[in-house]
Amino acid sequence: MSCLTITEGNFESEVLKSDIPVLIDFWAAWCGPCKMIGPVLEQIAIEYSGRLKVGKVNVDDNGSLAQQHGITSIPALILYKNGGIAAQKNGAAPKHDIESLFKNLI
Q: Which of 23, 34, 41, 101 is catalytic?
A: 34
Is 34 among the residues known to form the active site?
A: yes
Q: What is the 3-state secondary structure (H, E, C) of the chain?
A: CCCEECCCCCHHHHHHCCCCCEEEEEECCCCHHHHHHHHHHHHHHHHCCCCCEEEEEECCCCHHHHHHCCCCCCCEEEEEECCEEEEEEECCCCHHHHHHHHHHHC
Contacts of 68 (CB under 8 A, 6+ apart): none
Q: Which of 3, 15, 24, 31 is catalytic?
A: 31
What residues act catalytically? Answer: 31, 34
